[in-house]
Structure 1
Amino acid sequence: MTPVLSEAQLKRLEVHKYSVSGVSVTQRVLQVLWSWLVEKLPMWVAPNLLTMAGFVLNVVTSLLLICHAPTAKEEAPVWVYMSCALGVFLYQTLDGMDGKQARRTGILLAVATACATKVGQTPDLLFFMIFLTSFVFYCTHWETYVTGTMQPGVLPVAATGLFATVVVTLWKVCGNFRTILREKTSSGGSLSPGVAILFPICVACIIYGTSSSHLFLDHSCLFLLMFGLAIAKVTNKLIVAHITKSEMTLLDSSMFGPGVLLLSQCCGGVISEHIVLWACLIYVTADLALYCFSVCDQICDHLDIYCFSITSKPSQRRY
């Protein structure tokens, strides 16, 4: 597999230290719960295992909802909505516990670094809320990238998805941009991270407004998954650029998926947009998975550690 990180980036990764400024409103309450729960964990549980467990929970509950409401218009059983809400809560809990478990076990490594709301009947609102939430999540990490410090604000970045009211979310975006522009003005840094996130969002807006086959209306979940995974890839690259103290590249392979879908529409739909959307979804999924695997593999090799274990001794091959 082609290496994603250079030797210089891996060297800078060794000196990375997580920095956070301030405590959000929800964290003041939840910190008590997280601290109590983490004390119940065995010392052999790896922090990354908690993070991955939260991720898997979110994937399972989200796929469950998609199966029952593939176009976001169907009425899913009540227990499906409840499982999604519980999944988000458990994800946030595990995400809050992983850092405490890392400090508790002495494993302080850089590698450890949708609630179901019925808006499917209002497509404009669904589109706006999903992409606004994705944008503010990205901007929070962009702010961290330029300042070197995570600043949660009124709501933590994880909870923004849960409390994604328009006023709070827009307030968060404005705060992010004030900090980003101030830091960029003083340091003269690049604004390439902005281009990386604006491309998929702009393409999504164009297709949403001009698709003759009503692609978003008829296949809302597939549409949001494809663009969401593309945005997830550039967000991951931004986080990696932050912890390795390197420049965020202007172009990324994840842009190929949204770009092909836009090109297909511009060509008059020679191939069914639904088929192209499926192909693009498969591509961006594979692209994100390969990137994440490669980054984790390189970091684990460089630091001579396992990704999900703190008790096993490193050997020649870990996979």
Structure 2
Amino acid sequence: MRYLPQEALNGLSKYSYKSVDKSLLSNYVLNPYWNQLVKLWPLWVAPNTITLSGLALVFLNFLTLLAYDPSYLCERGGVVLPSWVYYSWAIGLFLYQSFDAIDGKQARRTGMAGPLGEMFDHGCDAINTTLEVLLAGQALNLGRSWWVVASLIASLAAFYLTTWEEYYTGQLFLGVISGPVEGILLITSIFVVSGIHGPSIWDTPILRVLHLENVGFLSNSVLNLGINEVFLVLCGFGLAFNVVTSCANVTRSMKQKRTTATRPPLLNLLPFVVTMGLHVVWLSAPTPTKSFIVQSPLLLPFLASWGLQFAHQVGRMILAHVTGQGFPWWDSTWIWLSLASIDVYTPVLFGRSSLVQSSVTGVQLVVYSTLVISFILYARFVYLVIWDITEHMGIACFTVRKKDSQGHWNAAVDAKGKKIL
């Protein structure tokens, strides 16, 4: 299957990037810094190279997590990460934010602004979202828990919501407080605090922090959560606010454009809900033991595969946006996730043992197979989309175009005349 039929390729010429950033921190503090930072990059460096460099730093951070904590345990489980690891995570994430902010500026400096950059930028952001949830889960001492799952759901939901809003309004909207700006700086601060005090600091009951632990009716209440848990609850409220805001923006945009969608926009939030539901159902499986995956080292590859599936899902949405195609509702990974869920619930549904996931080895086989399949599907999507766009537009992905003697932009080619991606 090709993701870009000819009519979609023709729609690329109509695309123009639009964004609104109301963040005071971004406009008055970070933007002057970004304007100076982009000048350090030579004009021969392609914008996508800058974006990919930032993601490479995050991957390096993730590799240190795998090196020091491959089973995804926190301090309470006996794994103590060196302080420098958390500091390196903070530096890596801050540089990722910086590079992500200046790739568009570099694109305008080099005349490379266009739909390919939009696709590449959002694709890297989607991957980074999952990786940072995993890193932050370790730094916040959440370990193998449903709190990590909930934080991934909330983070992916916020990203999906923003992309869904951009699809219908035609512009990326960042409010006074947004994930790409304040959210990233907040996580960076968490890494720094964990480096100074260790992740266990986040387990401190919030009532002790507020000096209310001796108040009788509060001390034994559900309000006496750890700082890390309170943080995630507040993020949940933030997500609810974003849902209301995004829905209002889409409704307003539809009325202003006086367009009638073939499907009500709210229904196009369901693909995320379906994907989330299938993953949660699988995680909640009663065999071999209740919530086995959540409590085992399989949680890390399970969430990583979920992140790859999500990147594929929102990547198709962004592609539909820049090419003017219809909203991509169906997701082929639902078939695999449904089969995995049915298999693990076979004892409950049919009174017989699971075909594959009746043992720990069986569950491991399915989880790692899911990771491999998710990676192949997303890698194939990335390759085909990049190839089709660069082929159609006569550009290169990681090379700045050159002007010929007549002032026309040429695609970069090697000595044999083959186009360089």
Q: 1:224 Cα deviation (Å)?
A: 0.9
User: Quick one: which of 215, 239, 249 aligns to 2:318?
Assistant: 239
User: Quick one: which of 309, 314, 318 aligns to 2:399?
Assistant: 309
Q: 1:135 maps to what in 2?
A: 157
Unpaired runs of 5+ in structure 2? Answer: 119-131, 187-231, 348-353, 357-361, 403-409
Deviations 1:14-72 (A, max 9, x none): 12000012332331221111101111211111111111111222222123213422343
What amino acid maps onto 1:270 in structure 2? L
Indicate the SS of the match to 2:395: coil
Return the alpha-carbon distance in structure 2 between the equivalents of residues 226 and 122 of structure 1: 16
Call closer, same or farther: CA 1:137–1:121 in 2, change over 3 Å: same
Q: 1:196 Cα deviation (Å)?
A: 2.1
Return the alpha-carbon distance in structure 2 between the equivalents of residues 122 and 290 of structure 1: 31
The 5-angstrom pairing of residues 66-145 of structure 1 reads: 66-74=66-74, 75=79, 76-113=81-118, 114=132, 116=136, 117-121=139-143, 123-145=145-167
Aligned pair 1:153/2:158, yes or no?
no
Aligned pair 1:175/2:249, yes or no?
no
Deviations 1:186-227 (A, max 9, x none): 633224532321122111222233343411221221121111
Q: 1:217 maps to what in 2?
A: 295
Give the conservation status (yes or no) of the 8 Å contact 2:58–2:96. yes
Return the alpha-carbon distance in structure 1 between the equivalents of residues 320 and 169 of structure 2: 13
Return the alpha-carbon distance in structure 2 between the equivalents of residues 143 and 239 of structure 1: 11
Return the alpha-carbon distance in structure 1 between the equivalents of residues 142 and 343 of structure 2: 26
Decide which moves more: 182-191 or 277-286. 182-191
Return the alpha-carbon distance in structure 2 between the equivalents of residues 281 and 244 of structure 1: 29
Return the alpha-carbon distance in structure 2 between the equivalents of residues 104 and 265 of structure 1: 53
Q: 1:13 maps to what in 2?
A: 12
What amino acid maps onto 1:201 in structure 2? M
Deviations 1:142-179 (A, max 9, x none): 00001101111123342445547513333223312333
What amino acid maps onto 2:18 in structure 1? S
Return the alpha-carbon distance in structure 2 between the equivalents of residues 257 and 80 of structure 1: 36
Give the conservation status (yes or no) of the 8 Å contact 2:278–2:334. no
Indicate the SS of the match to 2:172: coil
Kindly report the root-mean-square deviation, in angstroms, between the aligned alpha carbons of the 2 structures.
Answer: 2.2
Return the alpha-carbon distance in structure 2 between the equivalents of residues 239 and 89 of structure 1: 25
Decide which moves more: 145-154 or 213-222. 213-222
The 5-angstrom pairing of residues 27-66 of structure 1 reads: 27-28=26-27, 29-66=29-66
Q: 1:83 Cα deviation (Å)?
A: 2.0
Give the conservation status (yes or no) of the 8 Å contact 2:275–2:334. yes
Give the conservation status (yes or no) of the 8 Å contact 2:395–2:401. no
What amino acid maps onto 1:204 in structure 2? H
Indicate the SS of the match to 1:21: strand
Indicate the SS of the match to 2:20: coil
Give the conservation status (yes or no) of the 8 Å contact 1:23–1:153. yes
Give the conservation status (yes or no) of the 8 Å contact 1:136–1:172. yes
Q: 2:380 maps to what in 1?
A: 290
Return the alpha-carbon distance in structure 2 between the equivalents of residues 251 and 53 of structure 1: 32
Return the alpha-carbon distance in structure 1 between the equivalents of residues 239 and 82 of structure 2: 29
Indicate the SS of the match to 2:21: coil
Decide which moves more: 267-276 or 99-108. 267-276
Give the conservation status (yes or no) of the 8 Å contact 1:234–1:254. no
Return the alpha-carbon distance in structure 1 between the equivalents of residues 393 and 323 of structure 2: 13
Return the alpha-carbon distance in structure 2 between the equivalents of residues 251 and 145 of structure 1: 16
The 5-angstrom pairing of residues 252-291 of structure 1 reads: 252-268=331-347, 269-271=354-356, 272-291=362-381
What amino acid maps onto 2:98 in structure 1? T
Aligned residues: 318
Return the alpha-carbon distance in structure 2 between the equivalents of residues 317 and 248 of structure 1: 34
Indicate the SS of the match to 2:173: coil
User: Quick one: which of 205, 208, 212 aligns to 2:283?
Assistant: 208
Indicate the SS of the match to 1:146: helix
Identity within the alignment, % = 24
**Max Rg structure:** 2
What amino acid maps onto 2:355 in structure 1? V
* TM-score for the superposition, normalised by structure 1: 0.91
What amino acid maps onto 2:96 in structure 1? Y
Q: 1:13 Cα deviation (Å)?
A: 0.9
Unpaired runs of 5+ in structure 1? Answer: none
What amino acid maps onto 1:124 in structure 2? W
Return the alpha-carbon distance in structure 2 between the equivalents of residues 227 and 256 of structure 1: 14
Decide which moves more: 185-194 or 265-274. 185-194
